[in-house]
Amino acid sequence: MSTRLTWLGHGTWLIEAADKKILLDPFLNDQPTAPCKADEVEADFILISHGHFDHVADAASIANRCGATVVGIYEIATWFAEKHQVAETVGMNLGGGVTLPFGHVKMTPALHSSQLPDGGCGGHAAGYVLTISGQRIYFACDTALFSDMQWIGRGGLDVAVLPIGDLFTMGPADSVSATQLLKPRHVLPAHFNTWEPIAQDADRWAERIARETEAEPVVLKPGATWELAVE
Ligand code: NI
Ligand code: MN
């Protein structure tokens, strides 16, 4: 069994594992580089990292159409249940973990803000470590570089997905430092080239990762799938 990661552009990912479809931060309809629209994706679970529109925009419509469970920090899970009538939610908080049908989900801190689109309080921004079939996948989501990433990497990471866009999150140079702290086997870039202010040269970033870290860079185009083989 393998885990498939499909980049849907920006911070949006589709993870397929254990016959489940897991969407992270679905933002498709108003995202310039998205390879599909919100009504074209299916999901069993939707993970939300924080409250900004470019991470929550299409979550409620997909959840309510598919009957997906929305997972997020307590404030955001409650917001989806109360404001968007999402029937199934899992509220958690930083440092906490939960076992779901596809694997284990641990919520990690992120250094970022988290106001919801209607001005509501989104709690604290988060990332996730997913443990699926014994493999550990870290989605840093929107965050600055922070030195506790070395603890997130302790125990080994098969994959780290890091923002490289700069301006709203860490940029390419700090993502190289993050990779040095996390020590993942593979590192994938996200949250760039959506709009001009976060345009980045991913090939140049990959050259730096290859030269300055032990990780293997994997650069996807929006819509492309990368398969993480079980070894
Ligand atoms: Ni954000
Ligand atoms: Mn963002």
Sheet arrangement for strand 184-190? 97-100, 103-109, 126-132, 135-139, 157-163, 184-190, 216-217
Q: Distance, CA 158 to ligand 2 centroid (Å)?
A: 24
For residue 229, what pLDDT band results from cuts at 50, 70 and 90? confident
pLDDT mean over 205-224: 98
Q: What's the gap in Å between 219 CA and the centre of ligand 1?
A: 21
The per-residue pLDDT for range 75-87, each reduced to its tens digit, is: 999 999 999 999 9
Q: Phi/psi of residue 164, each to 5°? A: -130, 5
Q: What span, in angstroms and rounded, lies between the C-alpha atoms of 116 and 80?
A: 11
Question: Phi/psi of residue 131, each to 5°?
Answer: -115, 110
CA 50–ligand 1 middle distance (angstroms): 7
Centre of ligand 1 from the C-alpha of residue 110, in Å: 10
- Cα of 54 vs centre of ligand 2, distance in Å, is 5
Q: How far is the CA of 149 from the centre of ligand 1 (A)?
A: 19
At the top level of CATH, the class of 3-220 is alpha beta
**b/e sequence 198-213, b meaning 16+ C-beta within 10 Å:** bebebeebbeebeeeb
Q: What is the pLDDT of residues 96-139, one digit of tens each?
A: 999 999 999 999 999 999 999 999 999 999 999 999 999 999 99
Distance 230 CA to ligand 2 centre (A): 30
201 CA to middle of ligand 1, Å? 21
- What does pLDDT average to over the chain? 97
Q: How confident is the model at residue 14 (pLDDT cuts 50, 70, 90)?
A: very high
- Output the pLDDT for position 148: 98
For residue range 159-212, list pLDDT tens digits in order: 999 999 999 999 999 999 999 999 999 999 999 999 999 999 999 999 999 999
- For the CA of 27, the nearest ligand: 2
**Residue 113 CA: which ligand is closest?**
1
For residue 204, give every residue at least 6 positions away whose Cβ sits within 8 Å of its Cβ, in sequence order, or none.
172
The pLDDT of residue 230: 72
Q: What is the per-residue pLDDT across 29-50, written as a single tens digit (0 to 9) for each?
A: 999 999 999 999 999 999 999 9
User: What's the rounded mean pLDDT across residues 153-161?
Assistant: 97
pLDDT at 231 (0 to 100): 62
The residue-averaged pLDDT of 146-165 equals: 98
pLDDT number for residue 2: 87
